[in-house]
Amino acid sequence: MTTPNVPAVKKRKELDSRSIVWEHFEKIKDVDNKVIKGKCLYYEKQYICETKKHGTSSLRNHMVSCLKNPHSKDTRLSLLTFNTLSTSESGTEAPKGGTEAPEGVLVTWVFNQDAIRRAICKMIIINEFPFRFVEGHGFKRFILVACPRFLIPSRWTISRGIYQIFLDERLNLKKLFRVGTQRFLLIRGEYIAKALESCLLEWGIKNVFTVTVDNASSNDTATVFFKSKLLSWGSSSVKVQYMHMRCIAHILNLVVQDGLKFADESVKRVRNVVRWVRNSPARLTKFREFAELFGVEAKSALHLDVPTMWNNTYIMLNTAVQYQVVFDAYERNDPSYSADLGSAPSFLDWCFVESLVKLLKAFYDMTVEISGSLYVTSNTFFSEISNLSCMLEAMVNSVHETEKVMGTQMRNKFDKYWRGPEKMNSIIFFANILDPRDKEECMSHQFGTFHLSSSTCSCWGIGPECKSVLQEITELVDKKVASNSKETKPFLVSIDYEQESDGEQW
């Protein structure tokens, strides 16, 4: 009989130890060449570290606490730093057992991988950087110099961190809404009717005061339906009366767009020539050379607009007018300029656009004023509307035919939404009254700019429209005090949304 062949046992390949502790310890092996102990290179103390029984935890603890280890100082000691931001703003954790560090004091700082990574996520959110920013060579070089111990995360880790910040902030807001008894102002709500209702129920918001939307007809239907929902939630009829607020910035946009239709051909030619230059890097380089040759020092480069946003159109025209000499030089020196464009802007087009820019600047400044997000704007709405009425009236009575036609078209659109106080939400008047810089007599005079009453145009007394507004705000305050005298001050929440009349978002 023959003995069967027994396959040879393959010896497992030994892997090199990848733990960082072996940079500070000497390996002590047994007769089988297995590591059983580690000897400190600085303190000569031995620790058991068999792989299957003990591991390297004891070695790692000693590496951090070893007094003779020159590398352990960075991990063991805290650093003093001058805090230029509060703890919450800087993204770092508050010291244990202490309160939030105020601005401008000395605080302790200890390396924290998670805190630095969260601060990077907040930086990307605030500055609107792409997620791949952390994978750029410049950022890696900066971190290597500023904090070599920090392990740079990938773009995927950053995206998960940003989403976690969103979940944390959302939870904090839910707690605030659930505990507080404030009222809420919803500005430009995209969700209409049932979608808006489900969103508010999810967030636990029931005290809605106003909803500001654009002027699409579907929004009118949605607000009527939503009023009935608010009444079923227990809201009073007084609050529902002021719920529907038309977006003032959107109405101003519609007014100017109607005026720009008359100047569409000249604006279109300027837009085409700007697009033609910007579409080719070679043309753009040549354009800059002409600008340097003629000494044109504009504050901004050529800007291409979005036709549905008139503010963008104003910026494009204002910049293009500053480069008119450069465009003329380009046309004289490049035959493809006229050949490609077909109808390039003529001298009359440039003259018309220049006068149009001067006219639109007042509307642009007004839009910037009422669209501010870092300061209160509601108290200026009525004054801005009154100023707009005066501007349009001056355009209608202008001796220039072009300006007169544009003013007439814009005035018709203005009258559609703001001809009288019955077409405007009274909240606009209330905010003006509560501004201590305005007086009742001034408000009555502003009503006169709408040509609503001859009495208000001829005197500075309190006219009938102003008296009606004062009576209305008095009734609102009385009913509010009677319904709930313990309610806290209003709290505002904004949900931004805009929609063109044809349904297109912008």
Give residue-wise pLDDT tens across range 356-395.
Answer: 888 888 888 888 888 877 888 888 888 888 888 888 888 8
pLDDT at residue number 16 = 63
Residues 28 and 34: their CA atoms lie apart, in Å, by 8
Domain of 49, in residue numbers: 20-74
Could you tell me if 388 and 326 lie in one domain?
A: yes
Residues 310 and 363: their CA atoms lie apart, in Å, by 10
Could you tell me if 66 and 85 lie in one domain?
A: no
What's phi and psi for 210, nearest 5 deg? -140, 155
Residue 8, domain member (yes or no): no
Residue 121, domain member (yes or no): yes
Could you tell me if 50 and 84 lie in one domain?
A: no
Could you tell me if 368 and 273 lie in one domain?
A: yes
Could you tell me if 166 and 291 lie in one domain?
A: no
Residues 469 and 430: their CA atoms lie apart, in Å, by 8
Residue 441, domain member (yes or no): no
Burial label for 93, CB within 10 Å (0-12, 13-18, 19+), is middle
- Other C-beta atoms lying within 10 Å of the C-beta of residue 7: 6
C-alpha pair distances (Å), 37 with each of 14, 41, 50, 71, 317: 17, 13, 7, 21, 78
Residue 211, domain member (yes or no): no
For residue 478, the one-letter residue type is D
467-480 in b/e form (b: 16+ CB < 10 A) is eebbebbeebeeee
pLDDT at residue number 348 = 87
pLDDT at residue number 25 = 84
The number of angstroms, rounded, from the C-alpha of 150 to the middle of its chain's C-alpha atoms is: 30
Residue 481, domain member (yes or no): no
CB 229 within 8 A of CB 265: no
For residue 94, the one-letter residue type is A
Question: What long-range pairs does 381-384 form, CB within 8 A, spacing at least 24?
Answer: 381/248, 381/428, 381/431, 381/432, 382/428, 382/429, 382/431, 382/432, 382/443, 382/446, 383/432, 383/438, 383/446, 384/248
Which stretches of the chain score pLDDT less than 70?
A: 1-17, 67, 70-105, 107, 180-193, 235-239, 307-308, 439-441, 444, 448-463, 483-506
pLDDT at residue number 461 = 46
Domain stop point among 419, 451, 467:
419
Domain stop point among 112, 147, 171:
171
Could you tell me if 113 and 33 lie in one domain?
A: no
Could you tell me if 258 and 382 lie in one domain?
A: yes
Residue whose token pair is 């100023």? 387
**Which of 292, 352, 365 lies closest to 323, judged by CA?**
292
Residue 157, domain member (yes or no): yes
Residue 36, domain member (yes or no): yes
Length of the chain: 506
Name the token pair of 329. Answer: 């030089």
Residue 483, domain member (yes or no): no
For residue 12, the one-letter residue type is R
Residues 223 and 230: their CA atoms lie apart, in Å, by 10
pLDDT at residue number 291 = 87
The number of angstroms, rounded, from the C-alpha of 92 to the middle of its chain's C-alpha atoms is: 24
Q: How many domains would you assign to the chain?
A: 3
pLDDT at residue number 496 = 45
Q: Tell me how far apart the terminal alpha carbons of the chain are, to the nearest angstrom.
A: 91
Q: Look at strands 184-187 and 244-246 and give their pairing.
A: unpaired
Could you tell me if 63 and 130 lie in one domain?
A: no
Could you tell me if 290 and 265 lie in one domain?
A: yes
Could you tell me if 278 and 373 lie in one domain?
A: yes
pLDDT at residue number 498 = 45
Residues 349 and 270: their CA atoms lie apart, in Å, by 8
Residues 147 and 116: their CA atoms lie apart, in Å, by 10
pLDDT at residue number 86 = 58
Could you tell me if 54 and 91 lie in one domain?
A: no
**CA triple 319-323-328, angle to 5 deg:** 140
Handedness of CA 398, 403, 405, 408 (dihedral sign): negative
Name the token pair of 370. Answer: 């009422």
**Which of 76, 72, 85 lies closest to 24, judged by CA?**
72
Could you tell me if 288 and 142 lie in one domain?
A: no
pTM of structure: 0.54
Domain stop point among 419, 436, 455:
419
